[in-house]
Amino acid sequence: NKLFGMKTSGSGKQRKKPPILLIGLMISFIWVLSGLYQIDDSERGVVLRFGNNLQTTMPGLRWHIPWPIESVEVVNVNVVNRFKQQTTMLTSDENIVVVDLVVQYRKTNPVDYLFNVRDADETLSEVSESAIREVAGKSDLDYLLTEGRTETAIQTQDLIQQTLDDYGTGIVVTKVNLQDANFPLQVEDAVQDAIKAREDKERLAFEAEAYANDVVPRARGDAARMIQEAEAYKQRVIADSEGEAARFEKLLVEYQKAPQVTRERLYIEAIETVYGNSNKVLLDSEASGNLMYLPIDKLIEHGRREEEKTNSGGTPLSQSSQNQTGRTSESPRLRGRIRE
């Protein structure tokens, strides 16, 4: 009875106990089953034997020697992790700026991620803060707040990845976003005033440039036009002077041949020019010493109307036109009186 785990009581009845061997087998079976584990497609399993790296297992149902001999660390190598970090720093022009940084990364090498650094995620956070401080410290405030955000994020990502590779963390940074870069609340009002002043400066500069682009070409065009007009006037004056000089030389030749005739011809031409530009004529009557005023402009206008009527209706010319013809015949005598 002792052999099969049976014990006899004083009353002669036997009390059964579970066999020690069966219990041991059941415990052993459960312990062996605890070594089974499942690895998904996006995961990798790192088998540790007494804390040392033994192997890396691929996706599927796997088994390892159960604890405490071996253990498995499962690392997801496909999921993109992210963390956000806010850092206050100084720029190159000694301004304080608050930067919100978002870093996205993947754990590509499970062994390096688990064994090369004590805490890879904490290391990534510290490296990211150091990198953004270094990049922002080499840039001025305006560059960070305006067009320099994208370039700052790219430089920060390159610097983070280079440092992580030197540490051998097994992490690949996929994206660094500079979500916000702003001033501390204590100086925000003063900075907004400075930004407004800078925008006004740029606006006035653009307006001045637009005004210059409008005025300068117009002034250059006016200057070129004035130069061309002056050159044309110069050429015209020279041509007129040369023509007058040539005419005078020809007239001098004629004058030397017949001075009296030339003087009379010049006089008559001058009188014709003066009378041709005047519409009033004064006549000296032979009967008396009075001067007669003839409204030549009225007579010419009246004669024109009579001529139009004659051409249209065939009527004879008026007496005024005949008187005008008579006065025309008297013009040689008038010329003689004027010469006298």
Q: For residue 73, report the phi and psi dihedrals to the nearest 5 degrees.
A: -110, 120
In a domain, 228, yes or no: no
In a domain, 1, yes or no: no
In a domain, 218, yes or no: no
Query: In Å, how far are 110, 196, 237 from 82, measured between CA atoms?
Result: 17, 35, 87
Classify residue 19 as exposed, middle or buried by CB count within 10 Å of its CB (0-12, 13-18, 19+). exposed
109 and 149 housed in the same domain: yes
In a domain, 65, yes or no: yes
| Token pair 């007579």: residue | 299
Strand-pair partners of 282? 293
| pLDDT given at position 225 | 92
Kindly report the three-state secondary structure assignment for every residue of 30-80: HHHHCCEEEECCCEEEEEEECCEEEEEECCEEEECCCCCCEEEEEEECCCC
Which of 150, 182, 214 finishes a domain? 182
In a domain, 47, yes or no: yes
| Token pair 């036109």: residue | 321
Distance CA(58)–CA(55), nearest Å, equals 10
The domain in which residue 290 lies consists of 279-339
Q: Which residues contact 120 (CB under 8 A, 6 or more apart)?
A: 107, 113, 114, 169, 170, 171
Token pair of 119, please?
């805490």
Peptide bond into 316 cis (omega under 30): no
Q: Which of 235, 259, 255 is nearest to 247 (CA)?
A: 255
Mean pLDDT score across all residues of the chain? 77
- Tell me the pLDDT tens digit for each residue of 45-61: 878 888 777 777 888 78
Domain count, the chain: 3
94 and 142 housed in the same domain: yes
Which of 164, 182, 200 finishes a domain? 182
**Highest mean pLDDT range out of 149-153, 177-181, 270-274?**
149-153
For the chain, the C-alpha Rg in angstroms (whole number) is: 60
In a domain, 232, yes or no: no
- Tell me the pLDDT tens digit for each residue of 218-243: 999 999 999 999 999 999 999 999 99
105 and 124 housed in the same domain: yes
- Tell me the pLDDT tens digit for each residue of 287-312: 555 555 556 567 667 777 887 777 76
End-to-end CA distance of the chain: give it in Å, rounded.
188
Q: Residue 279's pLDDT band (boundaries 50, 70, 90)? A: low
Identity of residue 254: E
Q: For residue 90, report the phi and psi dihedrals to the nearest 5 degrees.
A: -105, 140
| CA atoms within 13 A of residue 173's CA, in its CB half-sphere | 28
88 and 52 housed in the same domain: no
pLDDT at 93 over 50: yes
CATH number at residue 111: 3.30.479.30
177 and 87 housed in the same domain: yes
118 and 163 housed in the same domain: yes
Q: What is the DSSP letter of 277?
A: T
pLDDT at 179 over 60: yes
CB count within 10 Å of CB 77 equals 15
Which of 161, 182, 203 finishes a domain? 182
